[in-house]
Amino acid sequence: MTATARSADRPTDRPDADADGIGVAGPGGGVSAGVGRTALLVAAARAIETHRPDSLARDPLAEHFVRAAPVSADWPVRPDQVPGGTADPLWGRLGRYFGLRTRVLDDHLLASARAGARQVVLLGAGLDSRAYRLPWPPGAAVHELDTAGVLEFKRQVLDRHGAAPTADRRPLAVDLREDWERALLSNGFSPGLPTAWLAEGLLLYLPAEAERRLIATVDRLSAPGSTLAYEIKEIAETAAVRRNPVYTAARERLGIDLIALFDTRPRPDSAGELARRGWRVRVRGPYEFTALHGRGPRPEPDDALAVNRWVFATATGHRPARAGGS
């Protein structure tokens, strides 16, 4: 199937549409509340970043998602619409963080593709348009895993704007808290080929057992040379950090209580587990990349971003004799 034809497909197990062509949950139903609404937050941040004169990443489709959902239709999508500009804790600071994260993870995925990975799996793909905006090599397949509601909303917006993917896009509706391995294998995924895996902003919301299962599944399905990138919070945040304006602004202005959505129970050491399974692992902080690119968020007192870590792992093919949890 061609990339263009694939883009018109409905995601597997999508909800039925009503007579107006809108998903049963209504316009933006899959992204109107809970973790789904955070996808709109990130999309708005990417839209704003796209129009910055010193943009770190460009996503020209992002603003269309924001405008299509009633809950976010009046959110800013350009820098001149942000009250307070770069000093604004929500769109100036957290938004710039999302812009930086997008750039770093884009670079990681494209480096994996240049190294030979022709399968990309976006775990919790949200409203990102990497399958449309990145210059994938010929033959690349991008599997987008998310809930049926998010993928159906995304499909409607992309179809409405005539978006054409730059890879073979394969949306797949799953619950990442449950077993999704068989669904992925049925979606054309080949575990014998190197894969670039990405869990951007996902593990923060998953129960610990779901995270353990996800890491074991990725390991089991990864050929040598496969890569995985994901985001975590390294340690629990203090009460002072939880009162940071980034969190209060998201809650009071957008109705997104990030702290309530985070799963704050003790987290597994997934980086350590990957290393025990024979992966080469690097753990980086976002401010390292602020320094690298010369722009992005910088440390502040009671910093809501200070314990965020981006983990990059590569499957070496040198597996230990026994790895628990597989």
- DSSP code, position 233: E
Q: Residue 37 and residue 136: Cα distance in Å, rounded?
A: 28
What's this model's pTM, rounded to 2 decimal places? 0.89
pLDDT at 290: 97
3-state SS, 48-71, equals HHHCCCCCCCCCCCHHHHHHHCHH
Contact indicator for 166, 134 with CB cutoff of 8 Å: yes
Q: What angle do CA 226, 208, 128 make, to 5 degrees?
A: 55
At residue 213, the 3 state secondary structure works out as helix
Amino acid type, 268: P
**Which candidate, 132, 110, 133, 135, places its Cα nearest to that of 120?**
110
Radius of gyration of the chain (CA): 19
Amino acid type, 124: G
At residue 174, the 3 state secondary structure works out as coil
Bridge partner residues of 120 (DSSP): 142, 196
Q: Residue 135 and residue 108: Cα distance in Å, rounded?
A: 13
Phi/psi for 47 (5° steps) reads: -65, -45
Contact indicator for 128, 122 with CB cutoff of 8 Å: yes
- DSSP code, position 93: I
Tokens of residue 160, six digits = 């409405």
What does the longest C-alpha to C-alpha distance in the chain come to?
57
Bridge partner residues of 314 (DSSP): 227, 280
In this structure, the strands spanning 119-123 and 141-146 are parallel
Instruction: Identify the sign of the CA torsion 173, 75, 230, 260.
Output: negative
Contact indicator for 83, 32 with CB cutoff of 8 Å: no
Instruction: Chunk the chain into consecutive blocks of 10 residues (it has 326) and report each block's average pLDDT, rounded to whole numbers.
Output: 34 33 42 92 98 97 97 97 94 97 98 98 97 98 97 97 98 96 98 98 94 98 98 90 96 95 91 97 97 96 95 90 52
